[in-house]
Amino acid sequence: MAGSSSAFSFVLLVLLLAVWWPVAATAGSGLSVGFYRESCPKAEKVVRRIMAKAFKKEPGTPADIIRLFFHDCFVRGCDASVLLESMPGSMAERDSKPNNPSLDGFEVIADAKELLEKLCPSTVSCADILALAARDGAYLAGGFDYAIPTGRRDGLVSKEEDVLPNVPHADFNHDELVGNFTAKGFTLEEMVTLSGAHTIGTSHCSSFTDRLYDYYHDGVYGTDPGMPVAYAAGLKKKCPPVTSAHDDPTMVQLDDVTPFAMDNQYYKNVLAGTVAFGSDMALLESPETAAMVERYAAKPTAYWLRRFAAAMVKVSEMAVLTGSKGEIRLNCSKVN
């Protein structure tokens, strides 16, 4: 579909979601929608404005921020610990192997924090800025909006060794994925739903070159036979054999079809085998999760978007600090 028909469909989607989107007034975690309504009324508008500016300059910003958000919340909860810089003798999360150099978007959060400190000093937490920015990234890339509760406070601790045991890895098989997500309190459907975030964003070649060159099958090492030949050949042209992202900084789009759009193309790619991560193909390893992938691929994008929003809110409530716990950082990269 093109032209005015396409534009009408997009507007209709936004209107439908605005009408039907379920909005909770409060969350069981102690957070609440509109937490800054009195203390900093422009807080959410400021974050969205900063995100919109960054998105206009770099369309990959939503993917960067959503990934930053996930990697924060899956380690120590949503406390902005991923934003803290390493100190002498103490390596922080952002410098762990899964995060450095692949995580990006720190400067966007810093820009929002700097402006909010001028408007409302010592009021809006870095953890809330990151959660709001992730929501706004999904809005900018997908055209859908949803309410997210706020009231988080910032953590005081960030340890490099906490990352590997907690974040899902690109080479996880089905059982490892399920173990990771269920340990965090997510259902199988929420796991499949959140995996759809790979419909946008890029990856270093080192995250999947094992599937291209060192996949063990039938007694030999080579290319994963589950990869379509043409797709594997295309990735090999971009990605030579490497051992780490530092050896080869080449980045590839996770979704070649609609790389900057939050849509259900990811699930179609999984069914076709045209996904770089072994963890994405792992969703087809069980009939139950494979059926979920098929359902998301077959139904309109809005069907997945509604469930993705609900899952994002659940992620945002992971082990949050509220009340007098933690602090409100003045600088997101350093404790006060």
Q: Domains in the chain, please, with CATH?
A: 42-201+254-316 (1.10.520.10)
* Whole-number Å distance between alpha carbons of 112 and 239: 35
- With 90 as the cut, is the pLDDT of residue 27 above it? no
* Whole-number Å distance between alpha carbons of 142 and 265: 12
* Whole-number Å distance between alpha carbons of 209 and 245: 11
Give whole-number Cα distances, 319 to 28, 74, 153, in Å: 11, 9, 11
- With 90 as the cut, is the pLDDT of residue 322 above it? yes
The span from the first CA to the last CA of the chain, in angstroms, equals 52
Q: Which positions are annotated as active-site residues? A: 71
pLDDT at 249: 77
CB 154 within 8 A of CB 131: no
Mean pLDDT within 111-122: 98
Mean pLDDT within 153-163: 97
pLDDT tens-digit series, residues 47-83: 999 999 999 999 999 999 999 999 999 999 999 999 9
Tell whether residue 248 is among the known ligand binding residues: no
- With 60 as the cut, is the pLDDT of residue 85 above it? yes
Higher pLDDT, 221 or 44: 44
- Helix or strand holding residue 64 (H, E): helix 61-73
CB 316 within 8 A of CB 66: no
Mean pLDDT within 169-182: 97
Tell whether residue 79 is among the known ligand binding residues: yes
Give percent of the chain above pLDDT 90. 85
- Using a 10 angstrom Cβ sphere, with 0-12 exposed, 13-18 middle and 19 or more buried, the burial of residue 1 is exposed
Mean pLDDT within 29-38: 94
Tell whether residue 255 is among the known ligand binding residues: yes
Tell whether residue 199 is among the known ligand binding residues: yes
Q: Which residues contact 234 (CB under 8 A, 6 or more apart)?
A: none
Query: How many alpha carbons fall within 13 Å on the CB side of residue 293?
Result: 21
Tell whether residue 320 is among the known ligand binding residues: no
CB 112 within 8 A of CB 181: no
Tell whether residue 244 is among the known ligand binding residues: no
Tell whether residue 168 is among the known ligand binding residues: yes
Tell whether residue 322 is among the known ligand binding residues: no
Unique residue bearing structure tokens 């994963």: 224
pLDDT at 244: 62
- With 60 as the cut, is the pLDDT of residue 4 above it? no
